[in-house]
Amino acid sequence: MNQPVSLIGAPTDVGAGTRGSSMGPEALRVANIGPVLASHDLDVADRGNLSGPPNPNLPPVDGYRHLAEVQAWNIAVHDAVYAELALGRRPILLGGDHCLGIGSISAVARYCREQNRKLRILWLDAHADFNTQTLTPSGNLHGMPVACLCGHGPKELVEIGGHVPAISPKWVRQIGIRSVDQGEKRFVHEMDLEVFDMRYIDEMGMRHTMEIALATLDANTHLHVSFDVDFLDAEVAPGVGTTVRGGPTYREAQLCMEMIADTGRLGSLDVMELNPALDVRNKTAEVAVDLIESLFGKSTLMRTRP
Ligand SMILES: [Mn+2]
């Protein structure tokens, strides 16, 4: 029997510029995420939705929009994700915007620290999400979670996991990146983040990219995947607030997910930024569920596994 999984809905868009990702968890359920995972010999528990403050839709204050609301939601996410890990289950966070990666990944990092496990984070996204107060053009906190996790951000967010910084940039592999602000790009270089941008994927292929991103995992490594749906090409996944053309095709994304599944190390997952208000007949939710199914063992392999 595979390690059981728990679905945690976090219906909020307080960290985003465009509203609607608050409806993401329900759209993923409508696309049958629970039964689809259960069909792969998985014990799936749906914990329902977390609750938190509404979106006040206000301009930035000191470079941040909705800092108090983002903090409240991330604390709720942190506690829920940590509770599932402590039960020996694999949390799947249904976002919600990507600011919630702070709560989710700080919980995973805390659990790994306590268990003496190594952590590898795959950040699948069109964006580096490495903005700060001074670099951000918008103040939207969904553009800052990786920086916050690495200790660069407001103390209300960087201290959520009880350890600052929550993670080391060395644990992160970013894949699919193709839209980064100028100052943000400098900061990514400064912090020496390992980025597999679209140019790299085009030149080297998804297979090579994933081989490098997954290299040196061992039996004591917890693998966390933070899947921003805007990772996918906008043609495949129109239902996100920040679509960027030129992303991975369906087949590239499928290979990416299958290679992650092949490691047998997936310990937790975020599915973020799905925005049903911008979707077409829930097709982006269905594509997301299909790719998540690949992450948990659906394989296109006919020949025996290499
Ligand atoms: Mn993101």
**Ligand 1: distance of its center to the CA of 134 in Å?**
19
Domain ranges for the chain: 5-295
CATH of 5-295, one of 3.40.800.10, 3.30.70.100, 3.30.450.40, 3.30.750.210: 3.40.800.10
Q: How confident is the model at residue 1, as a pLDDT?
A: 60
Q: Which of 66, 78, 98, 224 is catalytic?
A: 98
Q: Which of 184, 197, 258, 273 is catalytic?
A: 273
Q: How confident is the model at residue 305, as a pLDDT?
A: 63
For residue 233, say whether it is annotated as part of any ligand binding site.
no
Tell me the residue type at 159.
Answer: E
**Ligand 1: distance of its center to the CA of 297 in Å?**
24
Active site residue 159: no
Active site residue 127: yes
**Ligand 1: distance of its center to the CA of 169 in Å?**
16
Q: Which of 125, 181, 197, 233 is catalytic?
A: 125
Angle, in degrees to the nearest 10, between helices 67-86 and 101-115 = 40
For residue 66, say whether it is annotated as part of any ligand binding site.
no
pTM score above 0.95: yes
Question: How many Cα atoms sit within 13 Å of 291 on the Cβ side?
Answer: 30
Active site residue 40: no
| pLDDT of the chain, 306 residues: tens digit per residue | 689 999 999 999 999 999 999 999 999 999 999 999 999 999 999 999 999 999 999 999 999 999 999 999 999 999 999 999 999 999 999 999 999 999 999 999 999 999 999 999 999 999 999 999 999 889 999 999 999 999 999 999 999 999 999 999 999 999 999 999 999 999 999 999 999 999 999 999 999 999 999 999 999 999 999 999 999 999 999 999 999 999 999 999 999 999 999 999 999 999 999 999 999 999 999 999 999 999 998 888 888 765
**Ligand 1: distance of its center to the CA of 108 in Å?**
18
For residue 125, say whether it is annotated as part of any ligand binding site.
yes
For residue 202, say whether it is annotated as part of any ligand binding site.
no
The answer to whether residues 167 and 147 touch, using CB atoms and an 8 Å cutoff, is: no
- Take residue 8 and report the two structure tokens written for it: 């945690």
**Ligand 1: distance of its center to the CA of 41 in Å?**
30
Q: How confident is the model at residue 199, as a pLDDT?
A: 98
CA–CA gap between residue 89 and residue 63 (Å, rounded): 37
- Take residue 261 and report the two structure tokens written for it: 């599944």
CA–CA gap between residue 71 and residue 300 (Å, rounded): 41
**Ligand 1: distance of its center to the CA of 143 in Å?**
7
